[in-house]
Amino acid sequence: MNDMAGINAPERVARFHEAYSAPTRAIVLRILLKKPRTYTELFDLIPEEVMSRNSVHEALKDLGRLGYVEDDAPEDLKRRPPKTTFWANRELIADDLGATVAHLLG
């Protein structure tokens, strides 16, 4: 169990909540759920006035830490190359969404 907003919630529910609690993460994840994208494609799809490039990078980093986004860059790199392709881990997201719905409906 995880103490999400003062209530006990299963780990999957807390992870799903964290991923979708920030609009920046939700925007990036929604795009990547449709198909894999590179940095350039993400920057082209998300106008600078909607989200800065730094915010896109931070969202990708957070979603990667949660296991929701994966990429094809070597693990030992400190900085991902511009041609890095990112994709959503659909199975984990679907499992966590299902756990969240089950938790909410009791």
91 against 77, higher pLDDT: 91
pLDDT at 2 over 60: no
Tokens standing for 83? Answer: 């041609």
Please, are residues 18 and 10 in contact by the beta-carbon 8 Å criterion? no
Give the tens place of pLDDT for each residue, 18-64: 999 999 999 999 999 999 999 999 999 999 999 999 999 999 999 99
Please, are residues 63 and 25 in contact by the beta-carbon 8 Å criterion? yes
75 against 45, higher pLDDT: 45
Q: For residue 47, what are the domain limits?
A: 2-105
Sheet holding 69-71, edge to edge: 37-38, 85-88, 69-71
CATH number, domain of 21, equals 1.10.10.10
Please, are residues 99 and 105 in contact by the beta-carbon 8 Å criterion? no
Give the count of domains, the chain. 1
